[in-house]
Amino acid sequence: MPLLAPNVGENKLLEFALGKATPGNQTLKLFVNNITPGATDVAGTYTEMSTLGYAAKTLTTSSWTVTNVSGSATAAYAQQSWTFTAGTSVTIYGYFVIDSTTGVLLWAERFSAPIAVDAGGDALRLTPSFTLTSA
């Protein structure tokens, strides 16, 4: 599924881009409710994983790198990984990113296929990136 920046995320990112507001760190979270990201989503739309040793990841603003190519610019972050502990099986449907300061949902993405975590030692690796194109 493609990444989706909901309305609140688009607005916040545009405010950051234009210097109207200052971005803080972001928080990367995994969601376990079976939904498809939509334009009117907010952070509360998503049910964050809470078991199997899971913890959200902090994405530090200064660690994003931006590259420019013809027609687009991409912000990329180093790969993030979780290694889970044993416990009751959980299905992870995707991830979402919030602005750590305001709690505003910036974007979300549903995985192409849900990921079932059912054994200690299972791992999930995710490389955050965000691409901006213009006409």
Partner 1 sequence: MPAVSTTVKYTRVGRGSLLANAFGGADVGVLFPATVQLYTNSVTLTETITQANFVDLQDSIPYTAGTITPASWIVTTSGDIAVAKHPSIRVSITTDRTTLNANANVRGYYILGSDSTTVLWAGSFPSPFVVNKTPNGQIVDLFIPLEIQWRAP
Return residues touching partner 1 (CB under 8 A). Answer: 2-7, 9-11, 13-20, 22-26, 39, 61-75, 107, 130, 132, 134
Closest approach of Cβ 112 to partner 1, in Å?
A: 15
Closest approach of Cβ 93 to partner 1, in Å?
A: 19
Closest approach of Cβ 49 to partner 1, in Å?
A: 24
Which lies closer to partner 1 via its Cβ, residue 79 or residue 88? Answer: 79
Query: Is 96 in a helix, a strand, or coil?
Result: strand
Query: Is 14 in a helix, a strand, or coil?
Result: helix
- Residue 127 contacts by C-beta under 8 Å, 6 or more apart in sequence? 76, 77, 78, 79, 80
Query: Is 10 in a helix, a strand, or coil?
Result: helix
